[in-house]
Structure 1
Amino acid sequence: MAKVNNRPESEPARGHDRAMLAAQALMQIRKGKKIPQIASKLGRSPSLIRTVLEESEVLAPSWPFLLGISQADKIAALKSKRKDGMSLEQLEGETGINRRKIAYMLRSGGVIPPIGQPAQIDDDRLVAQYEDGFSLRELQEEFHLSYFRVRSILIAKGVDLRPRGNPRGLYREISAGTPLGRQSTPSSTRS
Structure 2
Amino acid sequence: MVAARQLKREYEDEGATLKELAARHGLSYYKVRRMLVDHGVELRGAGPVPWPAPDGMVTDYVVHGVSIEHLAWNYDLSFGVTRRMLLAEGVELRPKGERANEHPDRGFH
- Please give the TM-score of this superposition, normalised by the length of structure 1: 0.36
- Equivalent position of 2:86 in the other structure: 150
Q: How does 1:39-58 map to 2 (within 5 A)?
A: none
Verify: 1:168 aligned to 2:98, yes or no.
no
Measured after TM superposition, the shift of residue 137 of structure 1 is 4.3
Conserved in 1, the CA contact under 8 Å of 2:37 and 2:43?
A: yes
Measured after TM superposition, the shift of residue 119 of structure 1 is 0.1
Alpha-carbon separation, structure 2, partners of 1:121 and 1:100:
31
Q: How does 1:4-153 map to 2 (within 5 A)?
A: 65-66=1-2, 74-85=3-14, 86-114=16-44, 115-122=46-53, 124-130=55-61, 131-139=63-71, 142=75, 144-146=81-83, 150=86, 153=90
Q: Is the radius of gyration larger for structure 1 or structure 2?
A: 1
| Ranges in structure 1 where 5+ consecutive residues have no aligned partner | 1-64, 67-73, 156-160, 170-191
Alpha-carbon separation, structure 2, partners of 1:91 and 1:167:
45
Alpha-carbon separation, structure 2, partners of 1:150 and 1:166:
16
Kindly provide the CA deviation profile for residues 125-164 of structure 1, in whole angstroms up to 9, marking residues without a partner as x.
22232334413443366552338x7367334xxxxx7xx4
- Please give the TM-score of this superposition, normalised by the length of structure 2: 0.56
The structure where helix makes up a greater share of residues is 1
Alpha-carbon separation, structure 1, partners of 2:23 and 2:31:
13
Conserved in 1, the CA contact under 8 Å of 2:22 and 2:28?
A: yes
Conserved in 2, the CA contact under 8 Å of 1:123 and 1:153?
A: no
Which amino acid letter does the alignment assign opposite residue 117 of structure 1? P
Aligned residues: CA RMSD: 3.2
Conserved in 1, the CA contact under 8 Å of 2:67 and 2:102?
A: yes
Runs of 4+ in 1 over 4 A off after TM superposition: 140-143
| Ranges in structure 2 where 5+ consecutive residues have no aligned partner | 104-109
